[in-house]
């Protein structure tokens, strides 16, 4: 596609804009300098942020110039949550998180060529700004009655806790970001999620008041949702992070592999860089043979490679296959194996025990007698080797990396045992 607006719409990435016709013309005439902001309120981005990071990548590939803002100033406050006041982090912690987020964003963008990306930090224009200057030069142009209509502010005002002046002022700081980037870099487009629409338009309003001739735009992507009603990017163990120390590459891969069939087509269009023809073919395969999970595997491999690299992706794919008897468990490195086994039911035992005891204790079967029946029927495996004897006891040389046993009942029911003693 030559029209980036049509491309974004087809992919489900166009929810709101201030003036679609004017934005379409600006992007067609291009190049447009645009920005998206990320606040360091945690030491890592999560998968929800991928929508914005990858949309920036699409716009840059279409010839436009991205400014990736990691908010060293706004991160000291945080966008108001609808439910409760944020805990403020100390400046040293936030500064460290700024560097971590920069390091996560940079690999997705190109910093070479005529539309080279630029990393920016709003602490640069707020650090030396006095309170009087902020109130006179910026705050004067915001109307409190309009600020009160923002969803998160309105919800907090209706709660018993209310909202502090600090968090209430967040939208002024974000509005100032757009003004500064317009003046410093000629930035005329802000991109963000539809839940940020109030903040996006605050910047537009501020620029229109102070730079009446400016032509600026806002573009919002839809919020990612799940068909089952649960929040996108969340699992039972919490958020899915981009930092491999917080969410292992194996768990990251499995998150996408386990995508509901009802969601996978939409997620593919939003997050994948495959062509329209490739995506439509994967959608067809999902409709005809959903059990093959072709689209889920394609998206899992693509995103894991983008975030963690091809080598890590190859390791987790090998681990995923080996756990279900389609590869050699002994060929997996200890870190990848441990990460994979952490995602299945697992127990620690002090020493080696009969297979029937281990199957029952880890919960693969309800009882030892059920374990014996499973063995007798040929459905019990230890490290992908079928257990033949009902009184079988694993040997120490069976332990993977000297500590793990992988138990399987049938084709799909997995568990792990970590042996900690002799």
pLDDT band at 422 (very low <50, low <70, confident <90, very high): low
pLDDT at 230: 81
Which band of pLDDT confidence, cut at 50, 70 and 90, is reported for residue 60? very high
- The residues pairing with 155 across neighbouring beta strands, listed in sequence order, are none
Please name the residue that has the structure tokens 């399987």: 408
pLDDT: is 148 or 6 the higher one?
6
Please give the helix or strand (H or E) that residue 418 lies within, else none: strand 413-419
Euclidean distance between CA atoms 44 and 41, whole angstroms: 8
Tell me the Ramachandran region of residue 256: left when phi exceeds 0, alpha when psi lies from -120 to 50, beta otherwise: alpha
**Strand arrangement of the beta sheet that strand 65-70 belongs to:** 16-17, 217-221, 189-193, 33-38, 65-70, 118-120
CATH assignment, 224-327: 1.10.240.10
Q: Supply the mean pLDDT for the chain.
A: 93
- Look at residues 262, 255, 193 and name the one whose alpha carbon lies nearest to residue 223: 193
**What 8-state DSSP symbol labels residue 159?**
S
Q: Is the pLDDT of residue 1 over 50?
A: no
Residue 350, classed as helix, strand or coil, is coil
Which one, of 253, 283, 277, lies nearest residue 265 by Cα?
Answer: 283
Task: Name residues whose C-beta falls within 8 Å of residue 47's C-beta, 6 or more positions apart in sequence.
Answer: 232, 233, 239, 240, 241, 242, 252, 255
Nearest 5°: the CA angle 158, 238, 37 is 65
Give CA–CA dist 286/284, Å, rounded: 5
Task: Classify residue 387 by its DSSP letter.
Answer: P
d(CA 206, CA 222): 24
Spell out where 278-353 has E strands.
Answer: 346-349
Please name which of 194, 215, 193 lies closest in space to residue 204, comparing C-alpha atoms.
215
Architecture in CATH for domain 4-221: 3-Layer(aba) Sandwich (3.40)
| In the chain, domain spans | 4-221, 224-327, 344-422
Span 111-129, pLDDT tens digits: 999 999 999 999 999 999 9
Nearest to 53 by CA among 270, 228, 201: 270
DSSP structure string for 40-83? -SSSS-BHHHHHHHHHHHHHHHTT-EEEEEE-TTGGGT-PPPSS
| Contact between residue 95 and residue 72 where contact means Cβ atoms under 8 Å apart | yes
Confidence class of residue 156 from pLDDT cuts 50, 70 and 90? confident
pLDDT for the residue numbered 83 = 78
Percent pLDDT > 70 in the chain is: 99
Q: Which of 80, 301, 37 is nearest to 169 (CA)?
A: 80
Cα 373 off chain centre by: 43
The structure's pTM equals 0.89
Q: Give strand pairing partners of 190.
A: 35, 218
Tens digit of each residue's pLDDT (9 = 90 or more) over 241-256: 999 999 999 999 999 9
Distance CA 23, CA 337 (A): 49
Q: Does residue 409 carry a pLDDT above 90?
A: yes
CATH architecture label of 344-422: Roll (3.10)
Give the pLDDT band (50/70/90) at residue 85. confident
Counting residues of the chain whose pLDDT is more than 90, the rounded percentage is 79
On the question of pLDDT at 50 being above 70, the answer is: yes
Question: Rounded to whole angstroms, what are the CA distances from 304 to 19, 230, 256, 301, 316?
Answer: 36, 22, 9, 5, 9
Instruction: Name 163's Cβ contacts closer than 8 Å, sequence gap at least 6.
Output: 80, 85, 153, 156, 157
* Residue closest to 203 by CA, chosen among 226, 230, 170: 170
pLDDT at 229 over 50: yes
pLDDT tier, 2 (very low <50, low <70, confident <90, very high otherwise): low
Q: For residue 278, what is the enclosing H or E element?
A: helix 276-288
Q: Please check whether residue 86 is in contact with residue 67, taking contact to mean a CB–CB distance below 8 angstroms.
A: no
């Amino acid at each position: 596609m030559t029209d980036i607006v049509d491309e974004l719409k087809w992919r489900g990435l166009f929810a709101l804009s201030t003036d679609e016709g004017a934005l379409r013309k600006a992007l067609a005439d291009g190049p447009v300098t645009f920005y998206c902001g990320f606040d360091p309120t945690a030491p890592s981005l999560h998968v929800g942020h991928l929508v914005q990071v990858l949309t920036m990548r699409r716009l840059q590939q279409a010839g436009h110039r991205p400014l990736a803002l990691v908010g060293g100033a706004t991160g000291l406050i945080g966008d108001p949550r609808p439910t409760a006041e944020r805990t403020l982090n100390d400046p040293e912690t936030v500064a460290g998180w700024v560097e971590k987020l920069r390091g996560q964003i940079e690999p997705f963008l190109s910093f070479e060529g005529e539309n080279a990306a630029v990393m920016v930090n709003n602490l640069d224009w707020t650090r030396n700004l006095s309170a009087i200057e902020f109130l006179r030069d910026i705050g004067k142009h915001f109307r409190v009655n309009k600020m009160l209509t923002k969803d998160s502010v309105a919800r907090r005002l209706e709660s018993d806790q209310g909202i502090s002046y600090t968090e209430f002022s967040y939208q002024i700081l974000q509005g100032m970001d757009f003004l500064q980037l317009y003046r410093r870099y000629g930035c005329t487009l802000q991109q963000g999620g539809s839940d940020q629409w109030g903040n996006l338009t605050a910047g537009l309003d501020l620029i229109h008041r102070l730079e009446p001739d400016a032509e600026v735009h806002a573009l919002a992507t839809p919020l990612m949702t799940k068909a089952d009603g649960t929040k996108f990017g969340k699992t039972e163990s919490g958020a899915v992070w981009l930092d491999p120390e917080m969410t292992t590459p194996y768990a990251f891969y499995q998150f996408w592999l386990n995508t509901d069939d009802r969601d996978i087509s939409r997620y593919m269009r939003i997050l994948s860089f495959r062509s329209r023809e490739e995506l439509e073919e994967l959608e067809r395969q999902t409709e005809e043979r959903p059990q093959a999970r072709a689209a889920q595997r394609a998206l899992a491999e693509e995103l894991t490679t983008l975030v963690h690299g091809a080598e890590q992706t190859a390791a987790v794919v090998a681990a995923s296959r080996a756990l279900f008897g389609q590869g050699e468990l002994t060929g997996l490195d200890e870190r990848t194996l441990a990460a994979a086994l952490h995602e299945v039911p697992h127990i620690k035992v002090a020493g080696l025990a009969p297979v029937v005891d281990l199957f029952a204790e880890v919960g693969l079967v309800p009882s030892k007698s059920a374990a014996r029946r499973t063995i007798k029927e040929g459905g019990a495996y230890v490290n992908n080797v079928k257990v033949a004897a009902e009184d079988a006891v694993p040997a120490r040389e069976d332990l993977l990396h000297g500590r793990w046993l992988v138990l399987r009942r049938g084709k799909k029911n997995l568990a792990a045992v970590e042996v900690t003693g002799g």
